[in-house]
């Protein structure tokens, strides 16, 4: 897959606005976080229901439970890791893990795109032919390296935790991307929506986060609490 400078430039410019909005919601306080992910939850559900209508309009309501598992569950788990529900007062610590997950996803996606564009030759799946093994593996490795170093420097959690978090985000985030690509292919659409030029809709932007959050929460529940 040849490196497309114009596509990369479009993705980069629109991502700047996206990152500013995301960081404001993530870092301001628990209410901004809640509002941000209420909007994301609504946007993902809206697009998911549109896709389901295109795939199986006759069994539309029978597939609602899939959306609960696919969208509502991971959003709820992310809130559990961020909101001060447990015996800990609002502090920087509550922001660290959700930010670590989201930054891992961003780094993995960006590195996978760059590596895949430069040296990618072997498609990972017919579902998403533009994604290559070289890009996927390169993205995961670079994600683990960058997040582990940043996590160690931050002083929060252990290096082992950051390696696990970044690895889980890289692997399961890639799986999440393939799952959403499969859903879009079944619905015969290119993008789930038109939230951002070059990035598609809500599901296109948060597909990796949805699946990765569940995997990271399992690690968090058993090894980090």
Tokens describing residue 82 = 């961020």
Question: What are phi and psi for residue 222, nearest 5 degrees?
Answer: -90, -25
Tokens describing residue 89 = 């007062």
191: number of Cβ within 10 Å: 15
Ranges in the chain, pLDDT < 70: 1-11, 84-92, 195-199
180 within 8 A of 207, measured Cβ to Cβ: yes
**Cα dist from 41 to 67, 137, 154, 175, 214, whole Å:** 10, 29, 29, 20, 15
Residue ranges in 56-132 assigned as alpha helix (H): 64-67, 73-82, 92-119
Distance CA(124)–CA(147), nearest Å, equals 24
| pLDDT for res 125 | 83
Distance CA(16)–CA(6), nearest Å, equals 16
| pLDDT for res 130 | 81
Total-model pTM? 0.87
| pLDDT for res 198 | 57
| pLDDT for res 1 | 47
| pLDDT for res 196 | 65
21 within 8 A of 28, measured Cβ to Cβ: no
Residue 26 makes CB contacts below 8 A (sequence gap 6+) with: 32, 33, 36, 95, 98, 99, 102
Tokens describing residue 83 = 């909101």
């Amino acid at each position: 897959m040849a490196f497309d400078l114009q596509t990369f430039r479009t993705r980069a410019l629109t991502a700047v606005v996206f990152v500013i909005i995301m960081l404001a919601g993530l870092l301001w306080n628990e209410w901004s976080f809640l509002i941000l992910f209420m909007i994301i939850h609504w946007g993902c559900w809206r697009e998911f229901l549109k896709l389901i209508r295109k795939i199986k309009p006759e069994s539309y309501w029978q597939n609602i439970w899939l959306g609960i598992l696919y969208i509502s569950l991971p959003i709820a788990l992310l809130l559990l890791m961020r909101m001060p529900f447990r015996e800990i007062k609002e502090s920087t610590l509550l922001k660290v893990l959700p930010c670590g997950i989201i930054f891992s996803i961003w780094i993995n996606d960006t590195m996978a795109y760059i590596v895949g564009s430069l040296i990618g030759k072997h498609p990972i799946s017919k579902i998403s032919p533009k994604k290559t093994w070289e890009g996927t593996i390169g993205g995961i490795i670079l994600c683990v390296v960058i997040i582990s170093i940043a996590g160690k420097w931050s002083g929060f959690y252990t290096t082992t935790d950051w390696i696990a978090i970044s690895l889980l985000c890289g692997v399961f985030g890639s799986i999440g991307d393939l799952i959403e690509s499969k859903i879009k292919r079944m619905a015969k659409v290119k993008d789930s929506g038109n939230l951002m030029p070059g990035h598609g809709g809500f599901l296109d932007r948060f597909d990796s986060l949805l699946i990765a959050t569940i995997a990271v929460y399992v690690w968090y529940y058993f090894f980090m609490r």
